[in-house]
Amino acid sequence: MLQKIKKEAILMGNEAIALGIIENGCNMASSYPGTPASEILSSIAHYRDAYGLKMHVEWSVNEKAAFEVALANSYSGCRSAVSMKQVGLNVALDSLMSSAYTGVVGGFLLVSADDPGPHSSQTEQDSRFIAMLAKIPVLDPCSPREAHDFIATAYELSEKYEIPVLLRPTTRVCHARQNVASGKLLKNKRKAMFSKDPARWAATPKFRLTLHKDLNKKLSLIASEKKLQPFFYKSGTSNQNNCIIASGVAYSYVLDFLTEHHLLDKVALCKVPMPYPLPDSFLKSITTKFHKILVIEETYPVIELQIHDRRNVTGRLSGHVPNAGEITPDIIYPVVNKFLNIHGKPLKQAKAGGQRPSLCAGCPHRATYFSIKKALPKAIYAGDIGCYTLGINLGAVDTCLCMGASINQAAGFFHSFKSTGSEAKPIVASIGDSTFIHSGITALINAVYNGARFILVILDNSTTAMTGNQPTAATGVRADGTSSSGLQLDKLLEGCGVTYIKTIDSYDVQGITSTLKDADTYTRSQNGGIAVIISKHPCLIGSKHKKTITVTVGENCTGCRYCITNFECPALVHENKKVFINPVLCSGCGVCVHVCPVHAIKVQ
């Protein structure tokens, strides 16, 4: 269903960002999926086709690749957009730092979506600090609508100063929905043109110093850009003694609260559209204008830290606003009440434990983890980032650091135990296909090169499942649906120097269990090394899966709950001292048949 945006539509923040990118003549967009940024690129691909535009849109294999591909387009005078989640920007940081110095010709928009909470990330890091570290401007939208409207500003700024510009939405902007009015479609008429300039594009350290000085000049000019100055919400009065400074979605919460409680004439509300760079004049004078200042921002104290004299300033740094976690209305309102000396009713807290995230019924990863646990119960399980991190529920994930770390950490555990003469333990690293391609390949080369020994299980479900089933380099499909040659995993593994490579269907519990034991022997044998098992079965969400078998529980079920504890499939239900299978949830994978210790679960 290709749809153009007529005049106004309810858009997810990520769709609004995509629409802004489409409307502003961008001809190249790249990304690696990651919550909460994933829908930006897929929406760009959608609008590209709906509007009949010529654009290069790609899912890159990682954020560094995405960044550098798009950067070359901007070196060539054209407009680019690269999007990722905040921890993805860590992967592209090397490129970002250097590109701030070289600058760009065509507009370069970097979208890094932060995840305060965190809801779906390993850190709560604040990309605005990365903008400051790299010395590039950052825009902090407070709503999907503003994120959309900021895109035009970002491209203008990027081209005026020849600098990458960061747009920093948070989860509550990316995954909020709002009615958004479409803008004018500015069709790209530019031709790519690369003007050779070695002192800039291939700068050696000597020229880098010049570029750094140029960058500093750009920043001081950007700080005084009229359109992006901090401004006060017009309340009609000007005799306020106190001021709240806010940016991002926190501004929306504060405005909502002050409007609803008729407090806009009691306190000045200052909005910061561009938290970095801020003009010195503002940072110096704001504290002389007001008796007290409260700064509310997510997630780190970026604005607060820049204010010169912080004696009368409160915020995350001072501890008046909690210094970790998402800022929600429930957090903000008591803080604002206290700041304004208003006695509000204390809030009731009704939080209860209960539902936890879990692998889907029929998920091939569950079958693999069950086999790993069964074959090598005493192993160290080095895990990675993806749906399969939920293997933690089955006790088969002991570590989860960041993308690709499973393989390096498995190697690290091996060398740690070996070099200290400690009793060797089996080590099993598990990583998804998309994550392996993202940052597991160099790790594997390193492990082989340095003589580590462990079992690597590649959980190949032929998709990037956790973020919404984007294709990978191995699936043979691109972001726009066209086909590509497709990476051959086994050949890649051979090229890395792995000689033990076995591919088995994830549902084949007996096959995987016996192969794991064999692989364990191989890692210990005289001429052994790293054993790789590709556990392959398509993700049920992405594929056209049909239920072919029906599984039932026989009368001999003892109600011992072994299946629920060790297999934790959501379709297994314990009621009245027996286990039942929820027919709506059950996918018919049949794996639980191998789980029951008394063989009560059977295929009908």
Partner 1 sequence: MDKVTNILMAGVGGQGVILASEIVSEAMMQAGYDVKKSEVHGMAQRGGSVTTHVRFGKKVYSPLIKDGEVDILFSFELLETMRYLGTLSPDAIVLVNNQKILPPSVTLGKDEYPDTIPGLLSARYPRFELVDALGVAQQAGNAKAVNVAFVGVLSRFFDVAEDIWHKAIAAMLPPKLVDLNLKAFALGREQH
Residues at the site binding partner 1, with contacts judged by CB under 8 A:
1, 8-10, 35-36, 38, 119-120, 143, 171-172, 175-179, 249, 252-253, 255-257, 259, 328-330, 333, 345, 347-360, 387, 389-390, 466-468, 561, 564-565, 568, 570, 572-575, 584-585
- Least CB distance to partner 1 at residue 521 (A): 35
329 or 395, CB closer to partner 1?
329
Strands 231-232 and 268-271: antiparallel
- Per-residue DSSP letter, 345: P
25 or 386, CB closer to partner 1?
386
- Least CB distance to partner 1 at residue 414 (A): 29
260 or 555, CB closer to partner 1?
260
- Least CB distance to partner 1 at residue 565 (A): 6
- Least CB distance to partner 1 at residue 506 (A): 17
- Least CB distance to partner 1 at residue 585 (A): 8
Rounded-to-integer distance, Cα 275 and Cα 422, Å: 51
Q: Which residues contact 95 (CB under 8 A, 6 or more apart)?
A: 64, 67, 68, 71
DSSP string across 314-325: ESTTTTSS-SSS
> Is 333:260 a contact under the CB 8 Å cutoff?
no
Q: How far is CA 259 from the centre of its chain?
A: 33
- Least CB distance to partner 1 at residue 22 (A): 20
Tell me, what amino acid is at 440? G
- Least CB distance to partner 1 at residue 573 (A): 6
- Alpha helix segments (H runs only) across 450-508: 489-495
- Per-residue DSSP letter, 477: B
* Torsion (CA) 300, 302, 303, 306 in degrees, nearest 10: 140
| Burial 103-123, CB ≥16 within 10 A → b, else e | bbbbbbbbbbbbbbbbebbbe
Rounded-to-integer distance, Cα 16 and Cα 27, Å: 17
57 or 572, CB closer to partner 1?
572
> Is 469:121 a contact under the CB 8 Å cutoff?
no
359 or 553, CB closer to partner 1?
359
- Least CB distance to partner 1 at residue 352 (A): 5
250 or 447, CB closer to partner 1?
250
321 or 530, CB closer to partner 1?
321
79 or 175, CB closer to partner 1?
175
* CA 176 vs CA 10, 115, 409, 512, 595: distances in Å: 10, 13, 37, 42, 41
Rounded-to-integer distance, Cα 130 and Cα 138, Å: 9
